[in-house]
Structure 1
């Protein structure tokens, strides 16, 4: 059995998050898939900012990392609005905004940053990251860098 690369695992998370948002916006109005997607996206942002971006930044990918941090802050604001459990029509509008944000953001990560992971993430940190991908939880009060007050 082939071991999934870090890039593949992170791309899989992108697809799972997108699917949760789509399940809500497709008309079912069941908020549970959306709630799972919001939690998963917050965890995914945590994983990137705490595990990946420092190594990518140190490897010289400063400009792309700064763009990703800015976009995380924008998405975090949308996630905060969704956490407020807006009425259905407002939630759909927020989900559409989040879908557009993710479309542009994920494409850049998958084409620019993720291909560099095997090169820049040292193996001990890679193992910690793989373990976190399997079962890790982000700290309850953690907030992305660009959303901190």
Structure 2
């Protein structure tokens, strides 16, 4: 038996939309920090024009309350941004700095063969994190409901999911086998984010995309799922709190056991991993104390900056260094079910030793 809830507008790219807020005036006039209360969240490796991450060649923008500081280390760097009158261009020489405002869509357009630059991500502490971003918070609320009472019914439902849809799957049995088979047969267009596993019910978010879902996109959406569960937990929803614990435990397991070890083996930055694992420990501790105002604010601030660093700096570097095994890595990550939080972190600890380095070691 299959039951599908009332349809709502599909928003499978909602987490992306949350990163492109509208601002009234898009310029690259800022050569100095725009506020005395800027807090650095991370700093990239040195990017060279001849080996540039593909995402920087495409239009992208800092999210709300985020500034990107672009610093040209050597050579000439040509950048473009979308202004009020269309595309504007700027050539920056060695030693140049530009602060890119939240919502400003920009890209690297070219430059000299020896061009190199770094990017820093900053938050304006004049605006504090009191809750997850609204668009991300609505991600679970806007999902349709799909209930399947047996395996064959679930298999038919998975085959019939339309591109652009996302739904909450509820079954009285473990759907891992059926969902895993459907993901493998989908040519990368189906993904899941498991949320709950009890003796009576299993719940997962399913997403069907029109195009194959890359690992970077999947990990970013996993952040959105965590923030959406957090929004419900902060409203006092006990089930959303359970989903938050499960989704966060699974996500940290993905990073610590599936992503970080091969990244470090490929020459990845140990300081980044050490700092992120240290932050994971803080997130785990504060998650257990969300009823305390101080711990809750600390959790929100840390999660917000942590996700930003990973999506903008760390994940692209992981993908760049693990290209040879990326397909296998993506399959392991996207096919993973729920995990016990007590097992998370051991592989990362084995790979890089002590994982309690200072927050200053974060990217």
- Would the alpha carbon gap of residues 125 and 7 (structure 1) be closer, same or farther in structure 2, given more than 3 Å must change? closer
- 1:125-144 equivalences under 5 Å are 126-139=327-340, 141-144=342-345
| Residues 233 and 244 in structure 2, CA contact (< 8 A), matched pair in contact too | no
State the distance in 2 between where 1:128 and 1:64 align. Answer: 20
SS in 2 for 1:136: coil
| Residues 24 and 31 in structure 1, CA contact (< 8 A), matched pair in contact too | yes
- 1:72-83 equivalences under 5 Å are 72-79=280-287, 81-82=288-289
| Residues 7 and 117 in structure 1, CA contact (< 8 A), matched pair in contact too | no
1:22 alignment counterpart: 231
Structure 1: which 5+ residue stretches go unaligned? none
- Would the alpha carbon gap of residues 36 and 94 (structure 1) be closer, same or farther in structure 2, given more than 3 Å must change? farther
Match of 2:261 among 43, 51, 54: 54
1:100 alignment counterpart: 301
- Would the alpha carbon gap of residues 92 and 42 (structure 1) be closer, same or farther in structure 2, given more than 3 Å must change? farther
- 1:102-117 equivalences under 5 Å are 102-117=303-318
Bigger Cα Rg: 2
State the distance in 2 between where 1:141 and 1:5 align. Answer: 28
| Residues 56 and 62 in structure 1, CA contact (< 8 A), matched pair in contact too | no
Matched, 1:9 2:181: no
SS in 2 for 1:2: coil
- Would the alpha carbon gap of residues 102 and 71 (structure 1) be closer, same or farther in structure 2, given more than 3 Å must change? same
Identify the structure with the greater strand proportion. 2
Q: Deviations over 1:19-58 (max 9, x none)?
A: 1111222x3x111112101110011001100011112223
State the distance in 2 between where 1:96 and 1:31 align. Answer: 19
Shift of residue 3 of structure 1? 1.2
2:245 alignment counterpart: 38
| Residues 249 and 340 in structure 2, CA contact (< 8 A), matched pair in contact too | no
State the distance in 2 between where 1:97 and 1:31 align. Answer: 21
State the distance in 1 between where 2:297 and 2:238 align. Answer: 15
State the distance in 1 between where 2:340 and 2:230 align. Answer: 23
| Residues 256 and 344 in structure 2, CA contact (< 8 A), matched pair in contact too | no
Shift of residue 75 of structure 1? 0.9
TM value normalised by structure 1? 0.77
Match of 1:65 among 273, 277, 286: 273
State the distance in 2 between where 1:19 and 1:137 align. Answer: 17
Shift of residue 6 of structure 1? 0.8
Aligned residues: 138
Alignment RMSD (CA, Å): 2.5
